[in-house]
Amino acid sequence: MRPLLLKGHERPLTQLKFNPEGDLLFTTAKDTRPTVWWASTGERLGTYDGHTGAVWSCDVFWDSTRLLTGSADNTARLWDVQTGRELFRWSLRSSVRSVGVAPGCRLMHLANSKLLGQESCIHLFRLKSDGNWQEQETEPFLVLRGHTATITGVVWYNTAEYMLSVSEDGTVRKWDVETGKEVDRAKRHKKAITDIKFSKDHQMFLTGSADGTAVLWDTHAMQEIRSFVLDRPLNAVDLSPLMPHAVVGGGQEASQVTTTAGKAGKFAATFLHLIYGEEIFSVKGHFGPINCLSFTPDGRGFASGGEDGYVRLHHFDEEYYRRSSEI
């Protein structure tokens, strides 16, 4: 593979998101500029200028017209994807760590960090998607409290009935969106959970943790199906929509990185086979820990964003399909 290297960010990447068709790639980093790229050529399409702090998270609407970003400047902003114009701004009392739009685009969530004496909780807002986008409700209609440390990831179930959140306290919690109650909770990781991703059909999800384990869960039973033990803290996970594969990535924490770690292969994106429970292959390239990973929506490639400020966009060679079928 000859990956495309997207060097638009000056600071470590925080999140990657493909739009549903897979032709646009949205990236956020600890600089103030969320960026959108053409996924086929890696060409930079535009930047969303306005944030004054690190941008932690983004989500794109199903029709790729609006983008939601959350930043350490304590705001979340709504953007027009095509022009880069800011449409609306929500303010919280600490940095916005995770944002997301529910399927259907009627609801959205913002999760804030446990900082400045604030509790880390999920704020649910109604979105007015019919008319004027610039008039949104500034107050949440529900606040989901319970996590004892910063929430690092929130995903919506595909019917928007409930949502799952993971946190640095090591728990996965399931929330009922109607009532705002925590309906289930599971703790399997010993350290902070750093990422959560649903499988394409939402029947399983994968979590990755700083303790070096990745766990595949049954969504409804909230029970572990399989666990993978790796030799490094994990920052990012994703599940392939095409193959029974998962990709995980991470590396030593930025403050502890030594010059030998790169050679030791700790910064590689590692692919796991969900059925055999084996590590199948790895792809190297980053000079620092991997912070975010995402398969393309068709599963024919993946993107990785690193602490080194690069996004590497891979399109799988024919070899991937051939050897995967031989396994």
Tokens for 276, please give them.
């055999």
In order of 46, 145, 222, 290, the CA distances from 27 in angstroms are 11, 28, 30, 14
Binding span for other proteins by CB under 8 A among 20-28, 149-157, 192-200, 299-307 = 20-28
Is 83 one of the binding residues for other proteins (CB under 8 A)? yes
Q: Which of 117, 131, 178, 229 binds other proteins (CB under 8 A)?
A: 229
Tokens for 236, please give them.
């990012």
How many residues touch other proteins (CB under 8 A)? Answer: 62
Smallest gap from Cβ 178 to other proteins, in A, equals 28
User: Considering beta carbons, is residue 119 or 319 the nearer one to other proteins?
Assistant: 319
Is 18 one of the binding residues for other proteins (CB under 8 A)? no
Is 87 one of the binding residues for other proteins (CB under 8 A)? no
Residue 273 and residue 281: Cα distance in Å, rounded?
A: 9
The footprint of other proteins on residues 252-281 (CB under 8 A) is 268, 270, 272-273, 276-281
Is 297 one of the binding residues for other proteins (CB under 8 A)? no
Binding span for other proteins by CB under 8 A among 90-98, 113-121, 162-170, 217-225 = 217-225
Binding to other proteins by CB under 8 A, coded x per residue (else -) over 186-215, reads: ------------------------------
Distance between start and end Cα atoms, the chain = 20
DSSP 95-159: -EEEEEE-TTSSEEEEEE-S-TT----EEEEE---SS-TT---SS-SEEE---SS-EEEEEE-TT
Long-range pairs for 129-135: beta carbons < 8 A, 24 or more residues apart: 129/105, 133/66, 133/78, 133/80, 133/87, 133/88, 134/87, 134/88, 135/88
Is 1 one of the binding residues for other proteins (CB under 8 A)? yes
Between CA 251 and CA 234, with CA 24 as vertex, the angle to 5 degrees is 15
Q: Which of 11, 53, 54, 64 binds other proteins (CB under 8 A)?
A: 64
Phi first, then psi: give them for residue 63, nearest 5 degrees. -95, 10
Where helices occur in the chain by DSSP H, the ranges are 318-326
How many CB atoms sit inside 10 A of residue 191's CB? 15
Is 314 one of the binding residues for other proteins (CB under 8 A)? yes
User: Considering beta carbons, is residue 207 or 270 the nearer one to other proteins?
Assistant: 270
Residue 256 and residue 73: Cα distance in Å, rounded?
A: 27
User: Considering beta carbons, is residue 3 or 288 the nearer one to other proteins?
Assistant: 3
Q: Which of 103, 241, 262, 285 binds other proteins (CB under 8 A)?
A: 285
Is 317 one of the binding residues for other proteins (CB under 8 A)? yes
Binding span for other proteins by CB under 8 A among 146-154, 200-208, 218-226, 296-304 = 218-226
Beta carbons within 8 Å of 61's beta carbon, 6+ residues apart:
67, 68, 81, 101, 105
Amino acid (1-letter code) at residue 308? D
Residues that bind other proteins (CB under 8 A): 1-8, 21, 23-24, 33, 35, 37-38, 40-49, 63-64, 82-84, 218, 221, 223-231, 268, 270, 272-273, 276-285, 312, 314, 317, 319-320, 323, 327
